[in-house]
Structure 1
Amino acid sequence: MIETSAEYGEAHAPVLQGLWEYVRMGQEDVLRSPYLPASFAFLTHVLLCAPFFVLDALGSVCQRVRSWRISAGSGPPPSLRRWSECFWKVLYKYMTVVFPATALYNTLLSPKLPADAPTCWQLCMEVVACLLLFDMLFFIWHYTMHRVSWLYRSIHQMHHQHHTPFALAAQDSSSAELLSLLLLALSSAWMVGCHPLSEALFHLINTWLAVEDHCGYNLPWALHRLLPCLGGAPHHHAHHRVQTVNYAPFFTHWDHLFGTYRVLPEPIAREHVILLIL
């Protein structure tokens, strides 16, 4: 987050300016806190996982929900115990590594808060630029971790314990990988020169896309069905099954460009076979 003034222009969206002034009012210390980015990342991740927790709970009793699962015939949805174990593992890694390291990173950057809000156009352009930049950096880092054996064993292998991922597992990685991905996101916003409002929206969308990628459901209303440029849960699920394809986190253009894009056939669930026979 970089201090800006004239670069945001004289005309600001009244709604955004009012929102920004409301957020800033009496909250300067909170917004400047070096612990804010990591806290925001963890809390939004947990909250955005809540709808998929409900789906997993319903999946044990509802045939319609089970039919939406990508691996519908491979077993039941993750249990409450598995969700709980994953939550405490991620929280421990944040408390012991991610919070201290990102606090140091933000202290060195010493972010400042501009007086003006961005225009709606600038907000959209900055968020899109951050998503595209992060997608590229993630693709490079992810591909490297898979290609360099010691990086895979020491950093990335823990994430691939989930052959059939679920929403909360999006951040069930080694401490080093969690930290590296959060730093990539923070660096993307810094390189673009985002306004704090744009950065907050970028982190929110980034977290949602990561959760949706790992949710294990090919939902009728999923974003990848609305935006063909996104891979979505089927794209990333194929990566967890094969591990040599689909390295990009959100978009598909880098995998198309490097020949690593694959669409795997979905196995027919046993319930569907029974229905077909009947």
Structure 2
Amino acid sequence: MEPGHAHAPVLQGLWESVRGGQEEMLRAPHLAASCAFLTHVLLCAPFLALDALGGVCARVHSWRIAAGSGPPPPPRRWWECFCRVLFRYVTAVLPAMALLQLLRSPQVPELAPSCWRLCVELVACFLVFDTFFFIWHYFLHRVPWLYRNVHQAHHQHRVPFALAAQDASSAELLSLLLLALSSAWVLGCHPLSESLFHLLNCWLAVEDHCGYNLPWALHRLLPCMGGAPHHQAHHNQQSANFAPYFTHWDHLFGTYRAKVQRSPSD
């Protein structure tokens, strides 16, 4: 019996429905970048609603990490950020990813992964990506030329908000997408595992920048994760908390900071 059918009939049915007659679309050069942008915008929508409620609901306002630094960003800042991210995707990310997809010419296997393989590949992808990101992010801050020309645009937000997760220079957006793709390629992940990794990676990046310490946030369930408080401390101090999701590398290299220093409203 085939492994995909033997161990994950639900996944196999899902995979067959995805690939059935749509292999050409799955190989489309513009698909990855377009999905990345649309997914990012859709995942930010709940936090736009929270920012709107923050001005009238004391409970929502109390969840803000930097409650003393002023009100949530107004709709104008969200719109300006959206336009910047859209411009960089259209002018840089979409063409580059389309070329990469054509060169890569990915294969679409017939079998879905087993549930065990899917889980292992997801965890491994996040651990590898977290390592790649930590190293790259550390050098972005430690090498002045890299900071000025690649990373400084992202740090215009002293108090970040969800959409700002991808408000970065074109070079940085491309580098992070390459790190995410490389994490899956290095491990030889099944396309279904890779797609789920990119989706969850996008969500965690948005949550990291949302500015809220939500009661149901993932870092409250998994102590090994830093979450939005961990990353907002990085935006405040810029000399600590270089890992995106987990905290082990920052603990190991002495760059972990737990407390967010309040800053004036940006």
Class of the TM-score when normalised by the shorter of the 2 chains: over 0.9
Amino acid at match of 2:49: V
1:107 corresponds to which of 102, 108, 123: 102
Picking from 44, 57, 61, the partner of 2:52 is 57
How far, CA to CA, are the matches of 2:2 and 2:20 in structure 1? 22
Amino acid at match of 1:241: N
SS at 1:191 equivalent: helix
Local SS of the residue matching 2:6: coil
Equivalent in 75, 97, 107 of residue 92 of structure 2 = 97
Question: Does residue 179 of structure 1 match 2:174?
Answer: yes
Match of 1:150 in 2: 145
**TM-score, scaled relative to structure 2:** 0.96
Distance 1:187 1:262 in 2: 28
Task: For 2:150 and 2:260, locate their aligned partners in 1 and report how far apart those are by CA, in whole Å.
Answer: 29
What's the TM-score, normalizing by structure 1? 0.92
Equivalent residue for 1:222, pick from 201, 217, 225: 217
For residues 167 and 9 of structure 1, the distance between their equivalents in structure 2, rounded to whole angstroms, comes to: 37
| 1:49–1:9 Cα change, 3 Å | closer
Q: What corresponds to 1:133 in structure 2?
A: 128
Pick one of 210, 217, 236 that aligns with 2:205. 210
Separation of aligned partners in 2, 1:266 and 1:177: 26
1:58-97 equivalences in 2 (<5 Å): 58-97=53-92
Give the superposition deviation at 1:26: 1.7
Alpha-carbon deviations, 1:63-111, whole Å to 9, x = none? 1111100000110001111111101110110000001111111211111
Supply the AA of the counterpart residue of 1:34: P
Pick which of 168-177 and 97-106 moved more: 97-106
2:99, 2:13 → 1: CA distance?
31
| Structure 1 moving runs of 4+ over 6 Å | none
Q: Report percent identity of matched pairs.
A: 73
Aligned match for 2:6, one of 5, 11, 14: 11
Alignment match, 1:123:
118
Aligned length in residues: 262
Partner amino acid for 2:17?
Y
- Unmatched 5+ stretches in structure 2: none
Q: CA deviation at 1:12?
A: 3.5
Cα offsets for 1:150-175 (capped at 9, x unmatched)? 00000000000000000000000000
Of structures 1 and 2, the larger Rg is shown by 1
How far apart in 1 are the matches of 2:22 and 2:96?
23
How large is the Cα RMSD of the aligned pairs? 1.4
Residue number in structure 1 paired with 2:234:
239
